[in-house]
Every structure is written in structure tokens, then in C-alpha cells.
Amino acid sequence: MGGLSMSFDNVLAHIDAEAIARDTLAFLRVRSETGAEGPGSAFLADLLRREGFDPVLDEVEPGRPNVYCRIPGAGGGPTLMFNGHTDTIPIGNSLPPGRDGDWIIGRGAEDMKGGLVAMVHAASALRKAGIALAGGLWLTGVIGHETPAGKKEGPRRLITRLRERDITADAIVIVEGPCALWTASLGSAIYRITISSPRGPIHTIKVPYEQNPASWLGRLLLEFEHLEREFASIPSHPLCGREQINVGMIEAGDYVNRLPTPIRVLGTWRWMPGKTQTRIRDTLASLCARLAEQSGLSFDFSLEATREPFETPASHPIIQAFSTAGERLTGHAPRQIGMALVGDANLFANEAGVPTLYYGPAHETAHSDHERVSLERLAHCAGMYALAAIGFCGVATDQASPAGSAAPS
């Protein structure tokens, strides 16, 4: 272990916070809003080239490439992928790019150009320290992340590459989010339920209230309340909380004495790891069938934007690697957390089958007009990424000791 600890010291000595600040600020000055993020991908590719790496561009749509950069290992170790998105939400009224002491300010600072720069500096520090990892690294940036303008085109293209094994990875670390190991998220889907009367929008004088879709909307909402009570009575997931159903939109009626038909109810259903969307579909199907039979109305439903939950177990080597890195850097292993929020990890873990987690500088100002990121946190992340890469990928055996000989300069 002496060799590993020397490698750690050696690589940390090559992380330059001021250089991270300069690169992050330069990245923020490049406009790369979702849909027109080509310049952001180009910046990332240029930064990788400047650091001596060899990125390739994968044109997902004209002018909108993903960036993939393989850093081969010496052999005999697992492969780690770092990933982030090169698009930002619209700049809008965001503070212009700038620096104030420890803070780098501007759209994309926290979400997530800072993380991408930290990722590149981590790989660069490994190279400058002369550390040959046993397993390989992939540094990747994707387009089209931020919805609704983005349709996940970039993440989906990367998933295709992983499924076709053009790219292989044993774990993925997404370089954004809170400064903690985010290892689980609920699944989620938008549901849409349509209640309609076979009689159409006629005068309410002809239809008793108990046949009015509005009265059955009340019944439906009551059923949701029962479901919510049931969910609350089941033990919550220790990291990402309990199953939940909620309503966001109700569209009903257009005139005071016309039958309101159809009525549409839209909302979000979130469920815990261990359950799949099939169960949600089955529950909605039987609920709609029962209400249709009782009411004589039709109850139709659909699910959109479904994401299965993800959970990377605490025993996974990538979590072990981050724990060791955290102990070395801060004296303790990072906190393990979960979120109700869904993100690209839900896609990578379920659709590409690669265990995924997030570790980022912060999740505090993303999408606000005062977006900013702490430089100290970015440097911390760069250190964590480099040390976790050493722990996960391993160091080539002819280098393991004495580590001091690895320094080239």
C-alpha cells in the first residue's frame, strides 16, 4: 500500500486549482445552450487535445457532437468512464461569466462545465505524475441533456455505443451533483389519464351529476389519496425516499353548463428501486378499468418519459474506490446519498447496464440566474476523480513500487 499512497501524493501535487479556474471560466465564455452546444463540445475536445489526449467527435446531429476520449490502460484492470453534458440551459438572465474570489460565476459553472474541466484535469494529473493505470479511462461529454429542448440524444447515442461495445466501461461516474456519492434515484414517469363521456360536451341539464366526468375526477383523486397513504405506510428506500404520486395539471371544461369531457389529468409517479414501470402500468390499468366500469365513462391512460430507478450497491468497487479517495483527501469516506430526481444515471444503468454514480462539486445553484461553483470544490473533485481512478482501475504492476520512480520530470 506504500506504493499506492505515494501515487496518491504524486498525482495530487499535479492538480492546479488556478489552471482549473482559468479553464472553467474560458468554458463558461463559450455559449453552448441545448440544441446549439457544438461550441461546448469543441471546447472540451480542444482542452483534451491541449492536455495531450486524443478525443474523437461523434456527430449526433449536424453540428452537435458527443466527445469521447479513450486513455488506454496498461492492461489487466477495469475500465472507468467519466461523463458529463456539454449543453447548458438557456443563458437567459444569468450573471455573466466572472470570478469572485473562490467562486467561478456564470451559466454552466455548476451544471456542469466545472465538473468537465475537473475531469480533464484529473486525467492530466495522472499523466503528469507518470502513473500508468492498469485499466483504461474514458472521458466523455454528451449533448442534448437538458430537457425539454434536449431529448437525451447525446446520452442515448453513448448508450448505443456501449450496447454495441464500440465503447466498454465497467463503471460510469457522472461529474455533477452534490459533493457526495449519489448512488440511487427513484424511477419516474409522467402519466396522463383521460376521462371522457360517450355523450360528448352537451348541456349539463341532460346529464345527472353522477354521470358527469367531473364527479369521477373526484373519485380518481380520492383513489390517488389512497395510493399515497399506502405508499407512506411502506418502508422508504434508505437513500431516495418513498414512492409518490402527484398531480400537476388538470384540464377540464370550457363552459359553465356544458359537460366537461374529456378531462385530462397529468402528473408524475415516482417509484423505488426494486420496482419497475410494469407495476405502475398494471396499477393504472386496473384502476382505470374499475372506474370505467363503475362510471360508464371511459378512462384511458398513457405513460411518458419513463425512467427506471437505479441503485449502485455500496459494495461495488467504484464506491470502494471513492471511499478510499475520500479518506485520503478529507479524512473520511464521502456520504452516500440518493435523490428523488432522475437523470442520465437512470439511463446508463438501465439501458447500457453499466453501474453508475454521480459525484460533483455541488447541487445548489444549477438552473438559477446566479449559478456559480467553488474553485476549492472543483479542485477537490479533480483530486477525487484521479484517486478514484487509481483505486478502481489499479496501477500497472511494474509501477506499483517504488512509486517515486514514476515521476518523469
Which residues of this protein are in contact with Zn ion, per CB under 5 A?
111-112, 176
Query: Least separation, in Å, of the C-beta of 115 and Zn ion?
Result: 8
Cβ partners under 8 Å of residue 233, min gap 6: none
Query: Least separation, in Å, of the C-beta of 369 and Zn ion?
Result: 16
The x, y and z cell numbers of residue 375, run together, are 474553485
Q: Taking a C-beta distance cutoff of 8 angstroms, is the pair 359, 322 a contact?
A: yes
Rg of the chain in Å (alpha carbons): 25
Please say which residue, 213 or 343, places its beta carbon nearer to Zn ion: 343
The x, y and z cell numbers of residue 74, run together, are 496498461
Query: Least separation, in Å, of the C-beta of 146 and Zn ion?
Result: 7
Please say which residue, 111 or 170, places its beta carbon nearer to Zn ion: 111
Q: Taking a C-beta distance cutoff of 8 angstroms, is the pair 342, 307 a contact?
A: yes
List the strands of the sheet with 187-196, edge to edge. Answer: 244-251, 263-271, 187-196, 298-307
Sign of the Cα torsion 171, 176, 177, 180 reads: positive
Cα gap 120→136, rounded to integer Å: 14
* CA–CA distances in Å: residue 14 to residues 73, 315, 407: 20, 30, 11
Query: Least separation, in Å, of the C-beta of 87 and Zn ion?
Result: 9
Q: Choose among 359, 386, 344: nearest CA to 162.
A: 344
Query: Least separation, in Å, of the C-beta of 108 and Zn ion?
Result: 9
Query: Least separation, in Å, of the C-beta of 360 and Zn ion?
Result: 9
Cα gap 82→62, rounded to integer Å: 24
Please say which residue, 23 or 176, places its beta carbon nearer to Zn ion: 176
Please say which residue, 89 or 129, places its beta carbon nearer to Zn ion: 89
How many CB atoms within 10 Å of residue 166? 11
Residue nearest to Zn ion (CB): 111
Sign of the Cα torsion 158, 164, 167, 172 reads: positive
Please say which residue, 170 or 176, places its beta carbon nearer to Zn ion: 176
Please say which residue, 186 or 366, places its beta carbon nearer to Zn ion: 366
Number of H helices, E strands in the chain: 10, 16
Query: Least separation, in Å, of the C-beta of 242 and Zn ion?
Result: 25
* Residue keyed to cell 469521447: 68
Query: Least separation, in Å, of the C-beta of 167 and Zn ion?
Result: 21
Please say which residue, 27 or 299, places its beta carbon nearer to Zn ion: 27
Please say which residue, 58 or 176, places its beta carbon nearer to Zn ion: 176
